[in-house]
Structure 1
Amino acid sequence: MKIVNIKGQIELLSGLHIGGGDDTMKIGGIDNGVIKDINTDKPYIPGSSLKGKMRSLLEWHIGVVGIGDGNPFSSKLLNDSIFNDDAKKNYAQNLLKLFGDKECAFGITRISVGDCSLSQETVDKELKLSEAKYENVIDRQTGTASNPRQTERVPAGVKFDFDIRVKVLDDDNGDELVSMVKQGLDLVANDYLGGSGSRGYGRVKFHIED
């Protein structure tokens, strides 16, 4: 077995919101805060958020979402008629090797996505790490705004370091697994990360180190 590291930076092109699940109410404060490190009170991107988004988009890309009834793709669906050629079936098997299979047909999960902390560049520039964005619901008949709320975002320009590690077992095609990881990052860059993507949140760019 060998382990391949894919490292780099995530640059925010628009405000990013990944909720922190704060259960305290603050009068006049933010209604919907971002997740922050409990020790430093600085925002970060959970590895689970990036990994889950990559897997979801790759499943959409291969066209297996419709056969899973909303559940993550698993090996028990490999006999579906959509896998009518070897190349597509091999791609699906690599996806299960990479991200895991609840049926455990392909052994251990190959990918490990670490939490993404603020880059040293962002720290050195002393960039603002939080912004409050007001949002409203527009009454369709009167055209007036109602139900104002504040959502916290990490602003555009902030960068996070990411570190993805891929286990390549003896029978694996390492090039195919690494290529799938990079394709997953490309799909996220062309879609969004975090919440409220339809409103322009979460546009990102990945800078992969050589």
Structure 2
Amino acid sequence: MEIKRLRGKIKVITGLHIGGGDDTMKIGGIDNQVVKDVNTDLPYIPGSSLKGKMRSLLEWKYGLVGISGGEPFSPKFLEDAVFNDENMVKKALIVMKLFGTTLTEKDKKVLEKKGLSERDLGITRVSVSDCHLTKEMIEAKKKGRKLTEAKYENVIDRCTGTAKHPRQTERVTAGTEFEYDIRVKILPGDDEKELLNALKEALELVELDYLGGNGSRGYGRVEFIEEGE
């Protein structure tokens, strides 16, 4: 087994909101805060948020979402007639190899019918670390750079054309940079290039879509700047 790495920087292009819990209500405070490190109070991107977005978009790109009905793809869905196409089976296996799947007895029987081995599936191969601020960003903050901002959101009354129900959403500011570190296990018999290319494709899809919440409002546009494996 080998472990390969994809690492680099995530540059925030438009305000980024990945919510963090706040068990206190502050009068006049921000309603929707971003997630922050409990010790440093600095914003970060949870690895689970990035990994979940990568998997979701890759399943959309590979045509798996309509078949699974919105569930994470698993072997039981291989019974669908669309998987008479070997190319579709190949795409489904890439997703399940990379991101893992829970193998039920039904899943195992479906794999057996398809002549596929359960050896390659199961536990996720991909590990996505939490993405913390770059050293340059931390230094910039010490010099006064703002890493977050409060943006007002509201609803427009269709009859009067006026805004109502204002609320504040906290966002990571445009230009902020985080470090990402993605690791993937390559087992004997794997097509290493195929798996790494799928991960890179998933990152490209996140760039084209968005990360975090409120993407339809223009939030969460990001750029991945790769620094090598």
TM-score range relative to shorter protein: over 0.9
Structural RMSD (CA): 1.1
Q: Which residue of the partner structure matches residue 205 of structure 1?
A: 223
Q: Which of 110, 118, 128 pairs up with 2:133?
A: 118
Say which one has the larger Rg: 2
Spell out the pairing of 1:1-210 with structure 2 (5 A cutoff): 1-103=1-103, 105=118, 106-126=121-141, 127-210=145-228
* Structure 1: gaps of 5 or more residues: none
> Which stretch has the larger CA shift, 187-196 or 16-25?
16-25
- Mind listing any 5+ residue stretches in structure 2 that lack a counterpart? 105-117
* DSSP-derived class of the 1:108 partner: coil
Question: What is the TM-score normalised by the length of structure 2?
Answer: 0.89
Q: Which residue identity lines up with residue 61 of structure 2 in the other structure?
A: H
Residue 172 of structure 1 and its aligned partner are, at CA, apart by: 1.4
Amino acid of the residue matched to residue 19 of structure 2?
Answer: G
Deviations 1:114-173 (A, max 9, x none): 000001121232331110000110000000110000000001000000000000011211
**Identity of matched residues, %:** 61
Structure 2 letter corresponding to 1:99: F
Quick one: which amino acid aligns to residue 151 of structure 2?
K
Number of equivalenced pairs: 210
Detail structure 1 runs of 4+ shifted over 3 Å in the superposition: none
- TM-score normalized by the length of structure 1: 0.97
1:209 aligned counterpart, secondary structure? strand
1:69: Cα distance to partner? 2.1
Letter paired with 1:114: S
- What CA distance in whole angstroms lies between the structure 1 residues aligned with 2:88 and 2:39? 45
